[in-house]
Amino acid sequence: MCLAIPGLLIEIDGVIGKVDFGDGTIRRVNLALLEGAKPGDYVLVHAGYAIQIVSKDYARETLELWRRILSIGEDLNSNTVGDYDE
């Protein structure tokens, strides 16, 4: 299974771009697989490579879903830690 996370492309220097994932996380990514990407585009990033340009709405909806999934996982972990000791 492949996992790609959307983010906002904020800077380009050759084939390397900086992508803001919306939670304060900014990472350098390789843009060699994309043609025509420019600052302001939302891109999907997998394994350090931007692989697709996506719409702003798609990026925001996907990031919100990830936040929900992660918060559910955190809730499950915090609620079950004590259960294993009993």
- Any idea what the CATH number is for the domain that residue 65 is in? 2.30.30.140
Residue 82 binned pLDDT confidence (cut-offs 50, 70, 90):
low
Number of separate domains in the chain: 1
Nearest alpha-carbon partner for 49 in 7, 10, 78: 7
Q: Quote the pTM value.
A: 0.79
The residues near 42 (Cβ < 8 Å, ≥ 6 apart) are: 6, 7, 8, 9, 53, 54, 55, 56, 58, 59
Q: How would residue 3 be classed by pLDDT, with cut points 50, 70 and 90? A: confident
Structural domain contains residue 41: yes
pLDDT tens-digit readout, 4-38: 999 999 999 999 999 999 888 999 999 999 999 99
Does 70 reside within a domain?
yes
